[in-house]
Structure 1
Amino acid sequence: MLSQIHSCSLLGIEGQIVTVEIDVLNGLPSYVLVGLPDTGVKESKERVYSALKNSGYSYPMKKITINLAPADLKKEGPAYDLPIALGLLMASEQLEPVDIESYVILGELSLSGEIKPINGILPMVLAARDHGFKKIMIPSANQYEAAVVEGIEILPVQSVAEAAAHLSGECCKAPCKVDIDALFKRSSTHNCETDFSEIRGQEHAKRAFEIAAAGAHNLLLSGPPGAGKSMMAKAFPSILPDMTVEEALEVTKIYSVAGLLRDAQVMTERPFRSPHHTISNISLIGGGRIPKPGEVSLAHLGVLFLDELPEFKKSALEVLRQPIEDQQVTISRVNASLTYPASFMMIASMNPCPCGYYGDPTHECRCSTSEIHRYAGKISGPLLDRIDIKIEVPAMDFDALETAPKGESSADIKVRVNAARAVQNRRYGEEKGLYFNAQLSPRHIEKYCELGMPEKQLMEKIYKKMNLSARGYHRILKLARTIADLEGAVEIKAAHLSEAVQYRSFSPEG
């Protein structure tokens, strides 16, 4: 007898509907599984056999053929265990389901028949809803992650027996529901150990962080050891703008695929990733035999903090150039080409030289001129050109440290950042995938960063004097747009352009 059950696969961070076809015929016992299964899918035979026997069902000792369609899509992981088990019960006439065509079914089986959680449940649920399915049966451990999706019934089950009883109508499960709005009503302050009010002085650097947070701009800090670069970077999450529901779901999909959600239902706070400088290219960008998201994708719509930037391998830094510009990463393998989103803020810090004290009035620099240039030369010109804000963070003397007044709290700064980001959300509401100023393309810049005649004349002078590239010119306009948004200005004025230029006039090479 032939049975069919709908399931789902992952292609990058997008779900793909898979039809599990099972044919049980009389003949010598055999088991054939086709449809490009990987080792994890092939091993389902042993898990399903034990799960059915230990749940009180009989395993059909006949000629079994299982096809996972479409046959040209690589199938990975144990998510097909439950649909295969239920399909075998249907094909061997041990289960007569009601309305099986409206279901998508997912789950990994233990040998006892219990259903274990799987990774990537959120994009699979979104795919099922978008393909018109009304119900999805998933492991109970994944129910709260899946229930943030509206428009489809989430039916959590704990065992094969429970799933079969629900499908046959013997014991109907109530769908799981969550109030997604309530998830965003928690404290709007990031769980951050450092507050900006604890940082004395460095007001110009704090202003740069505020602008970076408001427009999602890349930022490079250069200064001697102990000046406060890392401390301000670690306080940065406390002023990041609140995420919208759409942004939260986009980030949650990535963490769901990577298996990093832990007990969270949805990512309500922007990610902050801080990899060590020994990180490999693949771990930074993504990839592997089975491609997985890298740090740049895990930092999507959040922050990638690279402390001691010149200490990273030059090859690792160079591979950042493409995702910074394109805001996505494409990983090509034999079976597929996967694209992961990578629209992140890069916050980087560095010393001015190997010893750290070049230009410091209170410490003697021990580095030669060639060592200083070689150290700064580890960061290429094309990468520097992609950083919107570059500032020096000098060391503070004792008097300045003791007499500097307590600064603004992170909560006060965040109010302005949220207001500026709200302006951008309204402005780009009809632009798909466009959330903040740093994402503006040349076409968008022409539309949203229009200058008056005095401002055009000023930019012409700046362009010639600073010998800007076209990219550098566009980044100044995007930065000026953010400064104007922070002030609540509709049009970009000369003062906004002048401040934006100051943040690009510094070069680590001196």
Structure 2
Amino acid sequence: MVALVRTVAYLGLEARSVEVQCQLAPGLPAFNIVGLPDKAVGESRERVRAALAAMGLALPPKRITINLSPADLPKEGSHYDLAVALALLAAMGVTDAEQLVDHVVVGELALDGRIVASPGVLLAAMHAAADDKRLICPASQRAEAAWADGEAVIAAPDLISLLNHLKGTQQLPAPDAGAIEMAVPKADLKQVKGQETAKRALEIAAAGGHNLLMIGPPGAGKSLLASCLPGILPPLTSGEALETSMVQSVAGLLEDGRISRARPFRAPHHSASMAALTGGGLKVKPGEVSLAHLGSPRRSSKVS
């Protein structure tokens, strides 16, 4: 028997569908994960094994093969744990595989069976809503996932309560969307004395959506002027706030599902590397430029 569970792979700000396939076959006991998994995905074997043991279940003495399809798409991160565990439980007959067909599953497993947070839940929720599917995610991220479609989200604190919910013996509460933080400027142009030309340039840049390059010696007021720019920009619209929150979700910076209507402001150090500014790395993460999307980035300049 082959059990199927859907999850997602994150490619920048895009969530790609991934099918977790689990097969139990006769042979020497083994537990293999294939489909271009990185080390975090490969180590999910031990987390799943320990989580099932915490529930009083043992792996069957068979050859267990987990395939992450499409096999040519790199799989990174720990959010595959819950999907792998549910596919294995469905193949073992512990839960009904048909119930999981219309769900997208993300979440990391702790050794005691708890479902812990993982980055990118908002992207997964929006992907599931676009495909008319329900999302299964950690309870700690229910407020974040509820922004896509709160009625189609199952947020479970641990594996046992999730299985009980799927069987109908326990009802998990529907999540509520996180709070909306209104824009509160941290700096105001009235704090700047003089610099009339620079303040005029800020107003023109804010009104026309232009870029602005400030050059001057240390202490001239570049940082203060730059921090005043969000205060003269209009608050983010609902769509823009959700867009910036997607970037923060991928970066793991979205706290308690709170979405802010304030324009993002980033102030990287002048010695920041190119990777820190533009993002990248083995596991690609947003850089300062991406985190300042729809806001006002600033990099210190110094001339002699």
Give TM class, smaller chain.
Answer: over 0.9
1:217 positional shift: 1.3
Contact kept, 8 Å, 2:184 with 2:262, in 1: the verdict is no
Structure 2 portions without partners, runs of 5+: none
Q: Does 1:29 align with 2:29?
A: yes
Structure 1 contact 153–176 (Cα < 8 Å) conserved: no
Is the 1:22–1:67 contact (alpha carbons within 8 Å) kept by the matching residues of 2?
Answer: yes
For each residue in 1:446-477, what CA deviation from the matched residue of structure 2 results, as whole angstroms up to 9, or x when unmatched?
Answer: xxxxxxxxxxxxxxxxxxxxxxxxxxxxxxxx
Match of 2:283 in 1: 290
SS at structure 2 position matched to 1:148: helix
1:113 aligns with 2:106: no
Q: CA deviation at 1:266?
A: 2.0
User: Distance in 1 between the 2:100 and 2:160 partners?
Assistant: 16
Q: What SS class does the counterpart of residue 149 from structure 2 fall into?
A: coil
Cα distance, 1:249 vs. partner? 1.4
Distance 2:214 2:21 in 1: 57
Partner of 1:189: 184
More deviation, 210-219/158-167: 210-219
* Residue in 2 that maps onto 1:205: 198
TM-score, with structure 1 as normaliser: 0.57
Task: Give the 5 Å matches for 1:387-402.
Answer: none
Deviates more, 1:2-11 or 1:258-267: 258-267
Identity of aligned residues (%): 43
Give the drift of 1:227: 4.0
Please report how far the alpha carbon of residue 280 of structure 1 lies from its aligned counterpart in structure 2 after TM superposition.
1.0
Note if contact 1:129-1:152 (Cα within 8 Å) is conserved in structure 2: no
Output one character per residue of 1:127-164: Cα deviation in whole Å (capped at 9) or x when no partner.
1121221x111001111111111376111101111111
Q: Work out whether 1:171 is the aligned partner of 2:158.
A: no
One-letter code of the match for 2:233?
Answer: L
Mapped contact 1:287–1:294 kept (Cα < 8 A):
yes
CA gap of 1:71–1:276, structure 2 versus 1, over 3 A, is same
Larger radius of gyration, structure 1 or 2? 1
User: Paired residue for 2:154?
Assistant: 155
Q: How has the CA–CA distance of structure 1 residues 72 and 204 changed in structure 2, closer, same or farther, with 3 Å as cutoff?
A: same
1:2 and 2:41 are equivalent in the alignment = no
Q: Which residue matches 2:293?
A: 300
2:228 match? 235
Asked if the contact 1:80–1:107 (Cα under 8 Å) also holds between the matched residues in 2, the reply is yes
1:210-266 deviations in Å (ceiling 9; x for gaps): 221222211123455544333222222222210011111111111111112234522
**Equivalences for residues 70-81 of structure 1 within 5 A:** 70-81=70-81
Contact 1:41 1:76 in 2 (8 A): yes
C-alpha separation in 1, matches of 2:183 and 2:272: 32
TM-score (norm 2): 0.93
Q: Which has the higher contact order (CA 8 A, sep 6+)?
A: 2
Kindly indicate whether the alpha-carbon contact (under 8 Å) linking 1:31 and 1:65 is maintained by their aligned counterparts in 2.
yes
Contact kept, 8 Å, 1:98 with 1:169, in 2: the verdict is no
Contact 1:214 1:241 in 2 (8 A): no
Q: Which amino acid aligns with 2:67?
A: N
Compute the displacement of 1:97 (Å): 5.4
Q: In the aligned structure 2, how far is the partner of 1:188 from the partner of 1:278?
A: 29
| Partner residue in 2 for 1:84 | 84
Specify the SS of the correspondent of 1:99. helix
Instruction: Give 2:249's aligned residue.
Output: 256
Aligned 8 A contact 2:9 2:15 in 1: yes
* Residue of structure 2 in register with 1:18 after alignment: 18
2:93 is aligned with 1:93: yes
What secondary structure is seen at the aligned counterpart in 2 of 1:275? Answer: coil
Tell me by how many angstroms 1:22 deviates: 0.5
Letter of the aligned partner of 1:253 in structure 2? Answer: M
C-alpha distance in 2, partners of 1:163/1:68?
A: 22
Residue 264 to residue 4, structure 1, CA distance change in 2 (3 Å):
closer
Change (3 A) 1:222 1:108: closer
Which residue in 1 is equivalent to 2:145? Answer: 146
Distance 1:122 1:63, change over 3 A: same
Q: Report the secondary structure of 2:163's partner residue.
A: helix
Partner SS state of residue 33, structure 2? strand
- State the 1:49 CA deviation: 0.5
- In the TM superposition, residue 293 of structure 1 has moved relative to its aligned partner by 1.5
Counterpart position of 1:62 = 62
Match of 2:264 in 1: 271
User: Please, which runs of 5 or more residues in structure 1 have no aligned partner?
Assistant: 311-350, 355-510
- Distance change (3 Å), C-alpha of 1:81 and 1:8: same
Q: Is the 8 A contact 1:154 1:177 kept in 2?
A: no
Q: Give the alignment's Cα RMSD to 1 decimal.
A: 1.9
Deviations 1:34-66, CA, capped at 9 Å, x for gaps: 111111111011000010011122322211111
How far apart, CA to CA, are the structure 1 residues paired with 2:244 and 2:86? 32
Distance 1:187 1:73, change over 3 A: closer
For 1:29 and 1:228, locate their aligned partners in 2 and report how far apart those are by CA, in whole Å: 67
Is 1:217 equivalent to 2:216 in the alignment? no
Matches within 5 A, 1:121-136: 121-133=121-133, 135-136=134-135
How many residues are matched? 304
TM-superposition CA deviations, 1:104-148 (whole Å, max 9, x none)? 111100110001100011111111121221x11100111111111
**Are the aligned partners of 1:24 and 1:65 in contact in 2 as well (CA < 8 Å)?**
yes
3-state DSSP of counterpart to 1:260: coil
Which whole-Å deviations, capped at 9, do the CAs of 1:318-366 have from their partners, x for residues lacking one?
Answer: xxxxxxxxxxxxxxxxxxxxxxxxxxxxxxxxx5xx1xxxxxxxxxxxx
Pick closer, same or farther for the CA change 1:57–1:305 going to 2, 3 Å. same
Amino acid at match of 2:288: E
